[in-house]
Structure 1
């Protein structure tokens, strides 16, 4: 067996070397038959592994390469060789392809050449059926699927070697590989379609075996199949692209159709609106004619004309709405005027009035006055109002803003685009105009109707005219407050929200605009706000009064409401004083430091009766307003005397700070209304039991006298506030100071900053137009037990005054305070008590005559006593107008519980301030 394999390997190497040498020899080279003597040239498929009995002899012996040949990719010239043989076939009917090796390479093939073998035998053995054998040589080793198909045998024409040049020279023929057959057969290509020649490959001989490997035959076939699939895929993509282009074209046509329909709809709407405008013009012309003509003779014609026109208009609108396309709805409100004798008769109107026929019934009204920046277009007549037209300053004065600045006309003024406030303050708006900071434009100055000017028009402020209301020295105003509706179920209080103000009465000093009070006049203002809430927000709530002007806003004063875990109602009052100007606004602001405080879930506000009240003082009273803030204490302590720092003061001569900044000193005699708020943080259980006390002192001739004491229930590890307010008479050189007392082993930190949480506000008023009275709850007849709207008895602390005194005789004795002159009253009541009521209610009652029932004008509530506390307190503050004979009283109501004790010496007090409203009355 080993010998057989050795012979086979020897024969394979011999043939491979012979082919290579023949290729290198070219046309003139000769390959000796000595190189391939064994095995013999021809063998059958059955005995291809057996050595032949005969050997091939001749001058040329063609060997067949069994080793796979390699071709260089860049080779383009085919290799040809010549064979010289004794017997040549002059013409072959078909090509005889050589079979490629197992790697798929193509070998050279020879046209039918016969060479004599020893013994007269032929090198190739014929098949029994007269055809050439199915395989030859190495071809027999190939699989059946890639063998060359059998072809009919051809008669070999011998050629003697003596013929010399006469014998046709054999030529090398390129035989197609299986890949070429695959292309030709599978794609049905013929020789003529391929350029008249059969497919073939180029063969080269590797000098260095192992290099320039080429893909196998199966890989080449797979690559050709992928190429065919790619061509089919490209063809499918082209077909889809044609479909997409067709769809795009149809979509463009539909869009054009829709645009055309929309244009038609718009045109129909425009025509309909033109018809409506025409009807309106005809109606106006007819109405003007009616006003100047007798109505008795035209009554039937006018009514018929109205009905016919309105009927036609309704039919037109109905036809438009019934069309297939959609149009805007047009609401036609038709009203037929019943022209009658009583309806059109206004009677005699004044010279500055006209008869308004548009109201039912007709009535006389004041003629409209053209506002600043407008001019009169038509006079006011008996039947028509004055018509005003806006003045176009940009046309009247083209260079009013300069040559390079564009001018824009506005109602009552004009605007220079791109002009800053500083440039406008230098007089850019010109005469009779001022720069409005809110609108950022130039507005015409107001012309006073009566010619009485309080403040003339300047470059940045409008004219202030005197009115009949400014003859009053003081006025009061009240309103109710509600919590604004939450926009969503998770409305946060953390950023802050403005409480909604509902105006209860119209006044000459303020108006309500977007939940804020807008002041109309210059003067001094004092505001009180009572608030009761049950909340479950962590840390605390902060309630403040915020004053805003044209440039910025700031908090006048604020209080903090601690967290009671949503168990009880807590009441507090916040007050402040300020100097105000027209267009300034006052609002009530509520916020929380915790962003998880939800307005709709963690809030329950008790709706009080008129919780917001204020009074306004004219500058003619000579009053002075001051605000000061406290500094933050750096250490925890018990007793605390605050140090003040001035924030605003309208007259520094009348009010000054003491040398240590702990007291306010007065230069002249008068009446003082004050409020003091202090924010604090406490730690310790003794704080809860005994609470805090805020004491107000009046220092006169070096001696301190206690004005009032306010109690505050204590808290542990909580932020809270303590507040005191009242009114008292002062003399020249008197001082007012404050002190906060806390129990021992109670550590307290006191805060103060610019946010208004720790502020002092006061107004000093001359004694000529004001007075004050102080009282305390009487020891006799203190209400205890189940108290139901019980009127409290009072004892005077100060003496009775001319304008106000405590009733001492009769059924109302010790219960009512009587006012003897017209003016404004401001009341502060604080009660300290022990109770078990679920809710405690304090009410301010007003009695206008001895025989009428008292009317509740203000109230404040308090919840259950804080757990662990001994005392609790409730404070009520309110301002209102009084006249000669007005009486007031305070009542106490306990809901589901009892009152156990009321403190009558310290912690319970009543302070009443009275201010004259008409100069010269006192």
Structure 2
């Protein structure tokens, strides 16, 4: 048996040696087709490569410290090409196996179990025909054929037959060659090599995956990756669809908002038209004094306006409800979808927290979100793609009894209106908390919410809150100009239709412009005007000088005031002063007019104007930030009196009826808060009787405080007989809350006087109330001693202060420089001076001049200059007293002083009275 085994081993070795030598020849049944009877497998270089034949594995001679790496080819080469076979199955590079459990390989043939070489072998799925370890080795490293080693005790090893020692790395390579799992896969897997890699990081007992499971895992991962890609593509399609839906929804919302805004604009336009028509009709009705018709028309138009507003509001609410339903239905299509990090195409950069992307602009850009106005409540907050939406608050529904049980409430945008309620009831607090009465709209409006900003002026019953601090612009400003009569173009030059006087000034300002002999205002505010005019004429009847304010080129304008100059038969100059207070707007123009009631007045022959050296027209402008209030009123059209006359007033305009109102008998003006009142009253009259000339007329202003009346100021006017003339009084007086201001005209007995007026402002009252916080006033009369008399040439007048001192201005006291002469200013501001002087003189011309020391443009404290000047002539024949006065406005600085001088030309001054008819009032206003 031992001998037979040895022979068998030698035979096998010989077969392997000859097989190596004849590797290039093709033998076997597969070499010649199916007809061959040779059952042996195909061997040799020319054998075709198939699923049942594989090239031998090649191993590196050594393995250096890493796990074996068996890599299968991933190229699909042609099966019949030898080169493809060699490329598809590259040689594996075995390395040292550490910590890897390998299944026991199926070793080659041994002893009696081996089959005969010529025995027919039935083909199976496993095509590994070569069963020895030598078959797995490359040709260059295969061991030579040798006899079977001796087994047993009696065997002696042949030295020539001893094999060289095999290294551990070679032994590992031999073992790797015997393991089919690390070589090529079985035919069931398609003959494709596996991509399984064993690394040294794998520890024994961890992450051990058989080769077949690794392949299955690899295929599952590939399929899962394909599914993931498909799912991502489907999600991208969904994202695009959702973005398109959102874009469509935004476009729909924008169109809805545009429709709502357009409807609101149309509604407001209709309301404005109705209000304008109602205002025009109301003014017409007031002028013709149809009280009953006015009430009926007022109720009709208010009901019509209420119906129009209700229809517009219901239409707007219906349209908004429809749009809201459509919007909700569209928004529901995308509820539950994922949020997208990328914004929609629109604004180039993300908008801020209080901004939204306005798609109406081209290109879209970020716009600041609007705030809900007072009287509106919030519907929707501001979003990155839409502005916030506000809704008008219906106060009539929220507070049913806000106007009382019997008074109808009408809702308005931002407020409400109580129908049939007078202004007096409204300004007494009917509007309630957080509302104020708007005089222009004649309704209650919601107070402004400052929203964190400082409140400069809180909301009151008749004024809205002021949130911003007072602007740095000036509160007051003064401007002066000279006035001249235009040259005569023709030989006649009748002035009956009216002659416009030329206003000329070198002083430029941003307040107004002076062109074509008139003044055009550039800013809105309150204006006080003073004009000193001296003329000698021989026109039949009288002349009238006045002020006219034109709103625009299309409007006719209105006369602010007018003063009549009686007929003196051309014997002496007459000096008159005309004043007025009015509220102006930009582009309003002011003109001065000289008129005659008939055609018997020739400009070239009958008129001689005295050219004074100082500006004859002065203007005091007040900003609305001062809180000043302007009022004007007219007197009765015709009345006859022989005794004292107390005029009754009919208010024509007032900027704030809460602050200024008429008394119950319409003979006085009542003030709600304390302040300073600058006023002027001008009354036209016609007198008959010789006593009228001798004693003249006096116009007195009274202030009534808590039932106690006190004379504030007084003016004297020389009397006339069978002549038309005017008496005027201007001054400034302090008033407290609840005080009233009234007037009285005294005349001598047996003097018949006819008081009348017309639309030219010849009988009117004009005043401006200024808060005490920005203004002050001082009153004085001439001193009892030290007054000039006799031949007086530019002598200063001395005064005695009547009112209390103010921090801004005072009369120089004893011990101070220019005692009783200078009025000293201690703060920068704007001043207005009104001076009335009652005296007896025989001067041909008497001049009264107001000088300023240390003012703007005066060049220092020591240099003086005239601010205003007035001229008068002889005393009328038969008169006991004469009068002269002037008025002016000018800028002052800290340290500015003013004083008054009297000049008599060709005559003398006999007496100046310190009692009624002589006074000076100074008004100071902060800049």
Scaled by the length of structure 1, what TM-score is found? 0.49
